Structure 1
Amino acid sequence: MITDTSGGASAYTPYSEVGIQMAIDEINEAGGINGSQIKLLKESDGSQSTQTPTLARRLIDEGAQVLLMNSGSASAIAVKPVCYQQKILCVAPTNLSAAIVEAPQQDNIWILGPTSAGIGELYAAGMAKAGIKRLAVIADDVPTIQSYVPALVGAIQQGGIEQVANEKVATDSSDVSAQIARVKAANPDAVLVMSLGGQAEVLVQKGLHQQMPGIKRFSLASIGNQPTTWELADAGSLEGLVVVGSIDQENTRTSEFAEKLAAVGGQYSVLTAYQPQGYDGVYLIKEAIEKAGGADDLEKINDAFSQITGYQPHYGGSDFTISFSADKHVGSDGNCGIVLNQFDAENKPSKIWDVYQGTC
């Protein structure tokens, strides 16, 4: 596993790692895969994608037979040549960027999805229904987020929403008042914040709450799935914020997973989208290895992964399924894998956004 313990993605990687470890422990306790126990090797790239290929090769040299990507999307993009050249299955359970699976050298890398473009389509429909016509965008400067901006904002624009401002903030910013002042001057109907979450987004949301009270606000999955980040926000400063989520409490598989997660306990046991995505990523890999008849033939594992269809994940709506093929490297079978949530007065994304939800 390539993870991030110190960089921009470290605000959410611990949550997905909990799900990954839950699945590994379950599988090993049940006898492993074809009688063999799973051993998890780890390297952290700190969301520095220039380091990712070297770390991936190091893991392969140490005996890795599958690569699990648990860092930013830029890291998953950077590892594509290694996956392709080594013919090793690479799975990125939580990443959103469709660029990860675009040609060239995409044959051995897969994401669960939905993608940032799917989120853009959903937000465009929801914003239109909410009467929003003019949108301002504030994005942090990390490569992962900057790779999302064209696809997601492009999909929103194709849905008929005009972009009237585009501001960038550094992840280590201590003052974003100038960016918010320029956004305010553009007179948008709503503001979309695109970030890895953490302190940078809290700073932006605090500024919007103070300088543009009442403005409709939207964000990505990051802050909606970071309970430790919610605690950093001023009281009520996140209220009304609409975020991309994947948790539908009416999905019985999600409820069952939540019970298992609660039993594990610990700092990262508050249910988010990331734990079940990591968990499902491991079980999809297990299915591929079983279909391949073992883990020795790396190409055969990748081919077997491409044949998985109708997998029922532990996140998204009850009807949400994941399927792959040689030409379909995004597993999502529709946008009901996305659940749009809204923050309440206690800075928790406890409500379903009642304006619009996706379907499959």
Structure 2
Amino acid sequence: MKNLLLGTVGMVGTLLSGCLGLAPAMAAEATGEPVVIGVLEDRSSSGAFYSQESSKALKAFVAAVNRGELLYAAEQFGGRPGIMGRPIKLLFEDDQSNPNLSAAKARRLVEQGARMLIFISGSAATIQGKVVCTEEKIFCIAPTNVNDKIVQPPNNQFIFTVAPPAELQAETLVNGLKRAGYGKIGFFSESTATSKPLLDSYVKRLTEDGFKAASVEIMEAGARDASPQLLRIAEAKPDVLLDVTAHAPSTVTLYRSYNRLNLELPRWATSSVTAQPQIWAQAGDSIDGLIVVDMIDPTKPSLVAVRDLYLAAVGKDQPFVWLHAAVWDGLMMTKLAVEKANSVDGAAMVAAMEQIADFPMAHGQQGYTVSYKGKHSGAGSKSTNIVVFKGGKPAKLWETYQP
């Protein structure tokens, strides 16, 4: 009778909490031997602008998950905090987005006890670093990288991505540009290891879809004036200027130079711009009117929950971008792979990951879920949208077209 009464009281308390909008009791914290995850980040080079946003989010989200704050995903995990009830411990190495350093840094993390790896620096570095995933047979995930080659052979057996790859973003871009009625494109990029392959992939995809590359211009990373490249693009008379930069200072230089020249070309860009809020602050109103392929819907309930958790940790005045949402989703995928496998063995985690289907994500459109069955990129067409900049930040969804 006593147990029945206690259960009834607990049920009433839960109902009252829901009815009155009170916070439910905090889940138990993770305990026991930590699950060690190695993280490849860029602290000091061309990818540091976006990599450090991802690193900040990962630290905040791991702390929350260790406390049992699983948000909308709690039911998926039976409310267990951490990973298998054990706390997550992060180890970090700076690979400087340098392909020549990434593998060595990844091996160092494994030597220090990492049982799985998260890559949040440049895509080119991840492509080189993933060899360690195969060598050591450990589970790896690159939640924010968008280069399609990461999950292509060789050495792709143990690595997964989360964010929509460049090819999928390009599909959204193609459809948007077609709806806008454009035919000729002026491409602008910079000479970094991350930007060059992205530029090549966008030029290839768009020209295969019937667009004409009116001009392809590459600025040296670190240059303070993009006028020569922009003038050559303007002389080629494209219908639209497409920004394929990844290095924030180069992007800022592009838009400031564009304003100084009083050009009137429509401007589109990839998700690199929405990933790096430093660009918005430094570019100011020179970025207004820019149309960008992005990955988050600010009205989506799961996204709002993740955003509120992040801002509570880092400060409500901080920006929230798609990188943060993709990092949360990558952490959820890692937790799910371990718990479905009931093991931190790499091969078992990979097998478990390859069975994941219809898992709800924070990024993407309303109702967007991922499936990894038969592939190592779970992204689908609903993972992207198109936004317009106003007031120096992404302000609204583009009314003309959404995927």
In the superposition, the TM-score normalised over structure 2's length comes to 0.84
Counterpart Cα distance in 2 of 1:268 and 1:167: 36
Q: 1:348 aligns with which of 377, 380, 393?
A: 393
Task: Tell me what 2:46 maps to.
Answer: 8
Task: Give the one of 135, 142, 145 matched to 1:85.
Answer: 135
Quickly say closer, same or farther: Cα 1:268–1:104, change in 2 above 3 A. Answer: farther
- Please give the alpha-carbon distance, in whole angstroms, between the structure 2 residues aligned to 1:207 and 1:335: 34
Q: Distance in 2 between matches of 1:47 and 1:96?
A: 14
The one-letter code of the counterpart of 1:299 is A
Partner residue of 1:44? 94
Contact kept? 2:355, 2:372, Cα under 8 Å: yes
Measured against aligned partners, the alpha-carbon deviations of 1:166-219 in whole angstroms (never above 9, x if no partner) come to: 111122112221111111111111011111141111111122233252211111
> Does structure 2 conserve the Cα–Cα contact (< 8 Å) formed by 1:20 and 1:281?
no
- 2:383 matched residue in structure 1: 337
Runs of 5+ consecutive residues of structure 2 not aligned to the other structure: 1-38, 69-80
Rate the CA distance shift 1:195–1:268 in 2: closer, same or farther, 3 A: farther
The structure with the larger Rg is 2
Paired residues for 1:260-275 under 5 Å? 260-266=309-315, 269-275=318-324
Instruction: Tell me which of 94, 118, 131 is aligned to 2:144.
Output: 94
Superposition RMSD in Å: 1.6
SS at match of 1:51: helix
Structure-2 separation of matches of 1:155 and 1:267: 39
Residues 113, 347 of structure 1: alpha-carbon distance in 2 compared, 3 angstrom cutoff: same
Give secondary structure in 1 for the equivalent of 2:360: coil
Tell me how far apart the structure 2 counterparts of residues 184 and 211 of structure 1 sit (CA, whole Å). Answer: 10
* Percent of matched pairs sharing the same residue: 28
Deviation at 1:149, TM superposition (A): 1.9
Aligned counterparts of 2:261 and 2:368: Cα–Cα separation in 1 = 39
Per the alignment, do residues 161 and 212 of structure 1 end up closer, same or farther by CA in structure 2, a change over 3 Å counting?
farther
Aligned to 1:34: 84
Which amino acid in the other structure matches residue 47 of structure 1? S
CA distance in structure 1 between the partners assigned to 2:392 and 2:205 by the alignment: 28
Do the aligned partners of 2:173 and 2:293 also contact (CA within 8 Å) in 1?
A: no
The residue type equivalent to 2:328 in the other structure is Y
1:93–1:111: 8 Å Cα contact kept in structure 2? Answer: yes
Q: Is the CA contact (8 Å cut-off) linking 1:243 and 1:340 kept in structure 2?
A: yes
Deviant stretches of 4+, over 3 Å: 266-269
Is the counterpart of residue 258 in structure 1 residue 307 in structure 2?
yes
SS in 1 for 2:400: coil
Say whether 1:321 aligns with 2:369: yes
Residue 157 of structure 1 and its aligned partner are, at CA, apart by: 2.0
Contact 1:14 1:268 in 2 (8 A): no
Q: Supply the distance in 2 between the matched residues of 1:99 and 1:147 (Cα, whole angstroms).
A: 10
1:184 equivalent to 2:234? Answer yes
Mapping 1:305-320, distance limit 5 Å: 305-320=353-368
How many Å apart are 1:122 and its aligned residue?
A: 1.2
- The answer as to whether partners of 1:5 and 1:44 remain within 8 angstroms in 2 is yes
Whole-angstrom CA distance in 2 between matches of 1:169 and 1:267: 36
Q: Which has the higher contact order (CA 8 A, sep 6+)?
A: 1
Q: Where does residue 136 of structure 1 map in the other structure?
A: 186
What whole-Å deviation, never above 9, does each CA across 1:33-78 have from its counterpart, x for those lacking one? 2232111000011111110000000000111111000101001101
* 8 Å contact kept, 2:221–2:247: no
TM-score by length of 1: 0.94
Q: Report the Cα distance in structure 2 between the residues aligned to 1:73 and 1:292, rounded to whole angstroms.
A: 28
Alignment of 1:155-304 (within 5 A): 155-211=205-261, 213-233=263-283, 235-266=284-315, 269-295=318-344, 297-304=345-352
1:11-31 Cα shifts (integer Å, max 9, x gaps): 111222233223311221124
Task: Give how far 1:257 is off.
Answer: 1.4
Partners of 1:92 and 1:112 within 8 A in 2: yes
Q: Which runs of 5+ in 1 are unaligned?
A: none
The residue type paired with residue 147 of structure 2 is: S
The answer to whether 1:20 aligns with 2:46 is no
Q: What is the SS of the residue equivalent to 1:40? A: strand
Question: 8 Å contact 2:163–2:326 — kept in the other structure?
Answer: no
Aligned to 2:130, the other structure's residue is in SS state: helix
Aligned to 1:151: 201
